[in-house]
Amino acid sequence: MSQVRESLPLDKPLTLSSNSSLRLFKDRFARYSITFGGLMVLMTLLMIFGYLLYVVEPVFRNADVSLSHQQQLESSTDVVALGSDELNEIGYYYNQQGDLTFYPILPTSPAKSTSALPLSANQQVSSVARGLNDVGFGLSDGSFLLSQPDFSLSFSDGVRSISPGVRYPLGEQSLEIDEQGQALTQLVYQRDEEQMSIVALTADNRLVYSLLEAQENFMTEEVEWSGETQQFANTPAKLTKILLTPDQRLLFILSENQLYIYDLFADEFDAPRQVLEINEPNAQVTDIGLLSGGSSILVGNSNGVVTQWFETRSDRGRRMTRVREFSVDGAVKKIETEPFRKTFAVLTDKNEFRLFHTTSEADLLSHSLIRQAQLLQFSPRNNALMFQSEQSVDFYQLENEHPEVTWSALWQEVWYEGYPEADYVWQSTSASDEFEPKLSLVPISFGTIKAALYAMLFAVPIAIAGAIYTAYFMPAAIRRFVKPTVETMEALPTVILGFLAGLWLAPIVEEYLPFIFMLIILLPLAIVGCAYIHYLLPQRIKQLLNEEYSSLLLIPVIIAVSYLCYNLSPVVELHMMGGDARMFISNELGIDFDQRNALIVGIAMGFAVIPTIFSITEDAIFSVPQHLSNGSLALGATRWQTLIGVVLLTASPGIFSAVMMGLGRAVGETMIVLMATGNTPIMDWNIFEGMRTLSANIAVEMPESEVDSTHYRVLFLAAFVLFIFTFFFNTIAELVRQRLREKYGSL
């Protein structure tokens, strides 16, 4: 004992060996590295979250307006039209005599200049109509003249300069509209590259309609306009205002509180197609205006209510219907609409203007003016507003980039132009500039849930049942082969699965629909039947069969049933479905059928999800301590009772995590749903209809969206919603997993 004490003197400190020091270093290094990696993952998620919010936030900003320039007018100036160039550097206005005045908005713009219309001595301006980027004048001799402000850009020594001018698209010679030479007191026109329509009211209260066509002169290569003028036989006695749609088809005539609608393409163009009382109760109509595209008409009333009307389908054909209303303080004095969006401004008698958007039903802006305004006009790019009062033309900078987006437009039903009722619709783009964007996120969110649901219905039973058998019943020799094989399936590229599903599986399913239905019904029945037969076998025969390998006898049964269903498919289709299963489903059952549908997505995406659920579930079951199973068996429980009462309960946190991991994979899947569905954003649980998911929608439309546009930012909002979906599911999964672990962890 003394020798031992001498070998370990108390005055010398204990030292760690080199191996212990290295092990301690490795332990600390691993701990700090894992902690650092976890923090980096959290930081990355927060950065993704923050960037998505950064891109999405501008769509929810309020509109703003600020006065940037005032152009003083001479006391005798009576402005009839005003506007500016696209860059908001030069403004212009026409007076009652037809003189065009350019004025600088920026200090560096050209100085003020004036030019007069090329009128003869006996011609005077009797009416004015504003076009998209031009102004039409009705003259006292019954003729028409079109004037267009022109702005030419030039670059010299790297310096850009802009020069204002005027051009006459129809020529400097006025066109005769009224053969009787009466003054045109009211005027409206629309034109494109090939034809032009002009409707005018003459001084003797006749309504004339002139249709002009463009013809190129082969000698001079100049475009000449010619046509014929017709006269309306039946018109209201008093015409308050006339409007013409951009397609030159529908003519709207306001007569006090009545709106007359004419179809100029009909054989009887002067017979009203519909007559409406459009005033609000106890109010008078004060102004009307056409929204972009001409599908909707806005009606302003003396009680401050602005209503929107457009055509909807009814028993009597397409009829104008009152759809929605907007309210302002005071009587509506003037309505002005943006040329390419569904935004409009309202000028009231209380020296205030309001800005609205019809689709989103958004009250965008309310602003009190410095002076009482008579006219207002949007700039060409809708980023400025011009107001004309008796003393000046006031130029306001306008910030209103994304009026189409509100929470209600994204998540509630919206009544779109031409639709019979309010609905959830995603249709973000069109070939027309006057298109009404339909940006509801509900259909694509619904499609995401639908695709994930059918994929999980296919994958979860197969994956969990396979994992239970592999981990608990399968012999070790076979398990060592099966488990790696299933896990290898996860390495298959989803683009290959989507390609096979869309181009190979979908036509087969369509051609052999009875085979699919019979397989779904007969295969489970055959397996249950074989199990029952095995149960009825005498004990001596069962002893001849190895219990662990007896389930492999189902393989030839599955093959035989599948072969039988395949061969019976044409017979069933012929005798029970009239020879065409697809037509039978569509016509007899009333179920729409699309070749690339939710069934295809469920099979293909389920095939991609099965390895994830299988692997985690199998590991969870296989990791259940052996002494728990042995203890249950020792107490007299059967293997099935042990499985259900002990093993599955102990492994339930892992099984639930596996299901939620598979669900997260299904929710975020892109290529399979992109290639195996029709990508139609519809809301229908029908398994034979397709869908469009959030991820597929982003993949399809992001390349064609303009950077920083409303469409671009809403796609980022869809990505944010997808991020929230997965975050929500993962959070719920973790909470449930922890609860299950606390409940069954003591077994």
Tens-digit pLDDT profile for residues 566-616: 888 888 888 888 888 888 888 888 888 888 888 999 899 988 999 999 998
**Rounded average pLDDT over 366-385:** 89
In the DSSP assignment, the letter for residue 423 is B
**Rounded average pLDDT over 11-37:** 78
Q: Between the CA of residue 682 and those of 440, 445, 447, what are the distances in Å?
A: 11, 10, 7
Q: What is residue 746's predicted lDDT score, i.e. its pLDDT?
A: 59
Q: Residue 306 pairs with which residues in a beta bridge?
A: 300, 326
Tens-digit pLDDT profile for residues 437-494: 899 999 999 999 999 999 999 999 999 999 998 888 888 888 888 888 888 888 888 8
Give the CA-trace dihedral at 14, 18, 20, 21, to 10 degrees.
90
Q: What is the pTM of this model?
A: 0.85
Indicate whether 409 pLDDT > 60. Answer: yes
8 Å CB contact between 501 and 494: no
Residue 710 to residue 705: CA distance in whole angstroms: 9
Indicate whether 541 pLDDT > 80. Answer: no
Residue 547 to residue 405: CA distance in whole angstroms: 64
**Rounded average pLDDT over 292-307:** 93
Q: Residue 447 pairs with which residues in a beta bridge?
A: none
**Rounded average pLDDT over 484-510:** 87
**Rounded average pLDDT over 340-361:** 91
CATH 3.40.50.300 fits 234-368, yes or no: no
11 confidence band (pLDDT: 50, 70, 90):
low
**Rounded average pLDDT over 290-306:** 93
Q: Which two tokens stand for residue 400?
A: 């209103």
Domains 234-368 and 442-744 share a fold: no
Residue 577 to residue 93: CA distance in whole angstroms: 72
Residues 6+ apart with CB under 8 A from 559: none
Indicate whether 742 pLDDT > 80. Answer: no
**Rounded average pLDDT over 270-299:** 91
Tens-digit pLDDT profile for residues 641-673: 888 888 888 888 888 888 988 888 888 888 888
Residues 6+ apart with CB under 8 A from 465: none
Indicate whether 91 pLDDT > 90. Answer: yes
Q: What is residue 744's predicted lDDT score, i.e. its pLDDT?
A: 67
Domain boundaries, the chain: 234-368, 442-744
DSSP states of 691-724 as a string?
---HHHHHHHHGGGSPTTSHHHHHHHHHHHHHHH
Which CATH architecture describes the domain 442-744?
Answer: Orthogonal Bundle (1.10)
Q: What is residue 13's predicted lDDT score, i.e. its pLDDT?
A: 56
Indicate whether 544 pLDDT > 80. Answer: no
